[in-house]
Amino acid sequence: MANGICVFAEHYNGNIETVVAELVSAAHFIKETTAEKIMAVVVSQDCETLIGQMGRLDVDEIYAVKTESDCAFQDDALSSVIADMIREIDPSSVLVPATITGRSVFSRVAAKLGCGLTADCTELLVGTRENGSYYIKQNKPSFGENVFVTIVTKEGCYPQMMTVRPGVYTPYEAKEEKVPEVKYLDIKAPASKVKVVEKRPAASNADSILAAEIVVVGGRGTEEEESFKLLKSFADSLDAAIGGTRPLVDTGFIPFEHQIGQTGYTIRPRICVSFGVSGAIQHTEGIKDTKLMIAVNKDEEAPIFNIADYGIVGDLNEILAKYLEK
Amino acid sequence: MNIAVLIKQVPVSNDVSVDPETHSLVRASSEGMINPADLNAIEEAMILKEQTEGKVVVFTMGPPEAEKALRDAMALGCDESVLLSDRCLGGADTIATAKPLARAIEKYGKFDLILSGALSSDGATGQVGAMVAEYLDIPHISEISAVQYDGADTIRAVKKYQGEEVVMEAELPALMTVCFGCNEPRLATLRTKRAAKNKPLETYTNAELQFDAEEIGIKGSPTIVTDSFSPERTRRAVMMTGTPEEMAAKIKELIEIEKGKN
C-alpha cells in the first residue's frame, strides 16, 4: 500500500535548493492530517554533503542513490533512476519543485510510472474520501492568474505527484538538527544520451537585472512610448534596472531577458517599484525576497496590491512626471 | 534533417473567469491562436530546415477547429501537418496528451528532431514535450534558448540556467522544448497563407492511433480537474492616497528610508 510523502531534494552545484525546504513545509502540513512519514529523495555523486544540508528539515527518512558521474542536466538518466526509486519506496505522494529541472525530469518519471503530474501547485490541501482514505487537493493557477483549479489524482492512482511553485511555502527549519535514517538504494543510472559540453556566464544583459539592488517594473500601463520614457528616467535616477511583464516585452522597449513572471526570471532586488502592473501570481514567482515593494496602478482592485508592501492608486504618468520634476 | 514540431492552439485571451454558481469557466472569447512559445519552436525549425533541407511536419491535438493553427504554422513554412482529433481524445491531461502525440509521430514517419514550445500560455505545465520524448524513448533537453547543428548525429542546445548558459549535446533523434522569446518568429504573407491552404493535412482519429479506450482522453488521464474558482483577493499592501505630487514624494521617501537601512 502506497504510503509516505516524498520530497525531491533538488540540488545544483553541491547545494540543496531552498525550494526543497519549502516543499518540506508542505509535506509537514500534509503529515499533520495523514500522519505519514516524510521522505526525501536525493540522487548525486556526493550524497553525503547534500544529506548533511538536510539536518533541519525534520524528515523521517532519506533515500539516496549515489551516481558514478554528475548527472546534472541528464534528464533521461535521472528520470530512470528516480522512477526506480519511487517504485521501490512506493510513496502515496511525491512533491517536486516546479523548476526547470523538476518539471523536465518528473515529466519523464510520470510517463514511466504512468502516474500523473500536476504542474505548478500553489496550495496543497488534504481531502478525505468516503472510505476514510486521504487524498491531496492540488490547487494551481491557470490562464495566467485568472482562475484557480483543483486537481486530484484519481483514486487508486499512486503516487499522487505534483510540482509545487517555488516561493509559495515558507522554508522549513526545525529548531534542532536531527539525523534522519538514510537508506542507500542500489540503483544504477543508465548511460545518458545528453551531455554537458560547457558552462559559460550568460552573455545576455539579464545579469544586470538579476544582480540589481533596485528594480523598476513596467506593466501594461507603460506600453506607450511616453510612459516608458518616464519609467526609464525614473529608473535611471535610482540607478535601477528595468524589468517588465509580457506586454512591455512585446513592445520591444525592454529585452526578453528582462521579462518578469511566468516565462522570465526570478529576481531578488532589495527594492522593487512597479508601475501599471496588475498581476500578482506571476510576480510571486518572478520577484522574491524584496524588502520594499511599492506598486502604482490605476485599478484599486489590481491583484498586485495583494503582494506589494505599499499601494498607490493613481495615474503613473502624473506621478512619474511629478517625481522627475524635483 | 526531418523535423516534427508540436504545437498547441491556445485562447487569444487569458481573460477567463469562473461562474460562481456552476464553477465552470467563462471565456471572454473563443478565438484561438498558436501558443507563443510554439512560434519560437517553428522559427527554430525553419532555420534548421534552411540549413539542412528536409521537411518540417507540424502536429497538434485538439478539436477540428485546431486546423486553423496547423494552417497558420504551414503559412510560416511548415511543409505538412497532422491533426489528432477524436472525441475520445478530449479531456486529456498531460499524460493522455503526450501518449497520442508520440504515437502519431511514430506513425507518420522518421524524424531526427522534435521541437515544441517550452510552456503554453494557458496551462503552462511545460510537461508534454518531455513526456513525448519518454514515450518515444529518445533524449530531450527542455527550455532551451538556442540550437546549433553542424550536420553530425548529435545536436547542441543552449539552456539558460541560474545566470549561466549551459551548452548541451544530445544524440539524435532528440526532442527539445524552446523558450518563448528566444528568436524572432517570421511572419506569414498573403502568398504563404494562400500556399498553406494546399499543403497536406492529415487527420488522425483513434481509428489510426489504435489506443484502448482506457488509455486516452479523460479515462486515460491519471489526474482530473475537480473544481475551479476565482483567486482569493486578500489585500496586503498599505494603501496610500493623495495628489500625484504627494505620491511622488511618498515614493521618494520610502525608497530613501529603505536605502538608509543596513
Residue B255 lies in a domain: no
pLDDT tens-place string over residues A191-200: 999 999 999 9
Mean pLDDT of A175-188: 93
Residue B83 lies in a domain: yes
Closest Cα in chain B to A315:
B244
Residue A267 falls in which region: left (phi positive, over 0), alpha (psi -120 to 50) or beta: beta
| SS3 (DSSP) at B221 | coil
Pick the residue with more confidence: B145 or A261?
A: B145
Mean pLDDT of A64-84: 97
Separation in Å, CA of B100 to nearest CA in chain A? 12
Query: pLDDT-derived band of residue B148, with 50, 70 and 90 as boundaries?
Result: very high
Q: In the predicted model, is pLDDT for residue A207 greater than 70? A: no
Per the structure, how many domains does chain B have?
1
CB B98 within 8 A of CB B131: yes
Compute the distance between CA of residue B43 and CA of residue B49 in angstroms, rounded to an integer: 10
The answer to whether residue A128 neighbours chain B at the CB level (below 8 Å) is no
Query: pLDDT-derived band of residue A203, with 50, 70 and 90 as boundaries?
Result: low
Torsion of CA B129, B130, B132, B134, to 10 degrees: 170
Separation in Å, CA of A60 to nearest CA in chain B? 28
Closest Cα in chain A to B251:
A294
Closest Cα in chain A to B153:
A193
pLDDT tens-place string over residues B235-259: 678 999 899 999 999 999 999 998 8
Mean pLDDT of B95-121: 96
Q: Which residues of A touch B97 (CB under 8 A)?
A: none
Q: Which residues of B touch A282 (CB under 8 A)?
A: none
Separation in Å, CA of A180 to nearest CA in chain B? 30
Query: pLDDT-derived band of residue B111, with 50, 70 and 90 as boundaries?
Result: very high
* Residue B170: CATH number of its domain: 3.40.50.620
Picking from A39-53, A98-112, A256-270, which range would have the lowest pLDDT averaged per residue? A256-270
Mean pLDDT of A160-176: 91
Mean pLDDT of B2-10: 96
Q: Who among B118, B127, B223 is closest to A152 (CB)?
A: B223
Burial zone of A190 (CB within 10 Å; 0-12 exposed, 13-18 middle, 19+ buried):
middle
CB A220 within 8 A of CB A228: no
Q: In the predicted model, is pLDDT for residue A115 greater than 60? A: yes
Maximum pairwise Cα distance, chain A: 69
Where would I find the H helices in chain B?
36-52, 67-75, 94-108, 128-136, 190-197, 206-209, 244-260
Pick the residue with more confidence: B36 or B121?
A: B36
Compute the distance between CA of residue A5 and CA of residue A22 in angstroms, rounded to an integer: 14
Residue B122 pLDDT: 83
The percentage of chain B sitting over the pLDDT mark of 70, rounded to a whole number, equals: 97
Query: pLDDT-derived band of residue B234, with 50, 70 and 90 as boundaries?
Result: low
Residue A243 pLDDT: 87
Q: In the predicted model, is pLDDT for residue A206 greater than 60? A: no
Interfacial A residues in 198-217 facing B (CB < 8 Å): 198-204, 206-207, 210, 214
Q: Provide the grid cell at B219.
A: 479515462
Query: Hey, which bits of A103-193 come out as E strands?
Result: 118-121, 123-128, 134-142, 147-153, 160-164, 181-184
Neighbours of A305 (CB within 10 A): 24
ipTM tops the 0.85 cut: yes
The boundaries of the domain holding residue B110 are 3-215
Residue B60 pLDDT: 98
Residue B261 lies in a domain: no
Residue B48 lies in a domain: yes
Whether B94 and A76 lie within 8 Å, measured CB to CB: no
Q: What are the structural domains, with CATH classification, of chain A? A: 5-184 (3.40.50.620), 207-325 (3.40.50.1220)
Closest Cα in chain B to A249:
B181
CB A251 within 8 A of CB A223: yes
Q: In the predicted model, is pLDDT for residue B131 greater than 90? A: yes
Whether B239 and A313 lie within 8 Å, measured CB to CB: yes
Residue B227 lies in a domain: no
